[in-house]
Amino acid sequence: MDDRLSYEEFPVFIPHGEDHLFGIVCAPAGASESDMGVVLLTGGNYTRSHRNRMWVKAARALAGAGVPSIRVDYHGIGDSTGRARFEMEDPFDDDALAAADFLVAATGVSELTFLATCFGGRTAMAAGARHPRARTVTIFPVPLLIPRDRSHVPLRTKVKLRLRKWEWGKQFVSRPGVRRARKAAAARRTVPATVVSPRFKRDMASFLQRGEVRFIYGERSPALIDLRRLLAEIEPRLSGEQRDRIAVTVLPDCEPENFRTLEDQDLVVTQTVASVTGAPPAGDQVPARV
């Protein structure tokens, strides 16, 4: 069977203030019986297709399962107009909301999932907290920590960010020995240099009043320790019902956030589809306390 028979795609420009966001709506061919639509969000350094067209594959697989979606370029990125400025505590939730409203108007879905990787997880959580139709926010590893004193970024963090501009630098800072050295340096501080994002915690607590938050991390994800820290800090603020709305899946023997291998990229796609369609996850479902 030709896979093209299972989906239809439509390029769209979405009005956004004085600018326009470019997106692709991917819908099941023919009538869709799904009430759920998906907003696919990338990190800030990828366009709507994501690395090696991960979101293209995910969108078409979702359409094959009867679920429409939209993937979109943030303002100032790709084919969208405007100028982008990246601030951890100021995600692009307005962009995500514009894309979500367009998807609702175009397909008639009554519920939404915001699904994202990396910096897009900040946007997804903020948009989920604001959109009344949002039912689920699904996030792959997301940067959760910000400097305690935002006017003073620790030297080791500056070095790490500079190194990550190059592929060899990314590999270097990901070495186990380098990670251990950085953690040891952090442990020697009497006051931690970083804090969990107040904005993320606030948005998450707000969304958990009515929706489910799903985290999908790899067993070897360096950011898993930051997720534990987030959950430990936010749990006392939540009711039992809200805690039950947090789901954490840990995928064995992988580190999906860097998308280095085709296997990791395929895993992100399959987990994306599974999280929306309700298929059993490939990883271990663990308690929210991790």
Separation CA 53–CA 203 (nearest Å): 29
Backbone angles phi, psi at 253, to 5 degrees: 50, 50
Residues 243 and 170 grouped into a single domain: no
Domain extent for 255 = 3-145+195-286
Of 289, 122, 285, nearest in space to 216 by CA: 285
- Run of H or E including 203: helix 198-207
Same-domain check for residues 66 and 170: no
Domain final residue, candidates 168, 192, 216? 192
pLDDT digit of tens for each residue in the chain (290 aa)?
A: 445 578 999 999 999 989 999 999 999 997 777 899 999 999 877 899 998 999 999 999 999 999 999 999 999 999 999 998 888 889 999 999 999 999 999 999 999 999 999 999 999 999 999 999 999 999 999 999 988 765 555 566 667 667 766 777 777 777 777 777 766 666 565 556 789 999 999 999 999 999 999 999 998 888 899 999 999 999 999 999 999 999 999 998 888 877 888 888 899 999 999 999 886 555 554 444 55
Which pair of structure tokens corresponds to residue 277? 């369609």
Q: Which of 193, 25, 1, 192 is nearest to 99 (CA)?
A: 25
Give CA–CA dist 17/36, Å, rounded: 27
Block residue for tokens 């995500």: 96
Domain membership of residue 87 (yes or no) is yes
Do residue 124 and residue 61 come from a single domain? yes
> E strand or H helix at 267, and its extent?
helix 262-277
Domain assignment present for 23: yes
Same structural domain, 164 and 139: no
3 state DSSP class of 200: helix
* Bridge partners for 70 per DSSP: 25, 39
Q: What is the CATH number of the domain that holds 26?
A: 3.40.50.1820
Position 150 in a domain: no
Task: Decide if 34 contacts 104 (C-beta within 8 A).
Answer: no
Q: Is the same domain home to 277 and 178?
A: no
pLDDT for the residue 181: 75
Domain count, the chain: 2
- The pTM of this model reads 0.82
DSSP three-state, residue 91: coil
Judge whether 163 lies within some domain.
Answer: yes
Query: Is the residue at 116 inside a domain?
Result: yes
pLDDT for position 14: 96
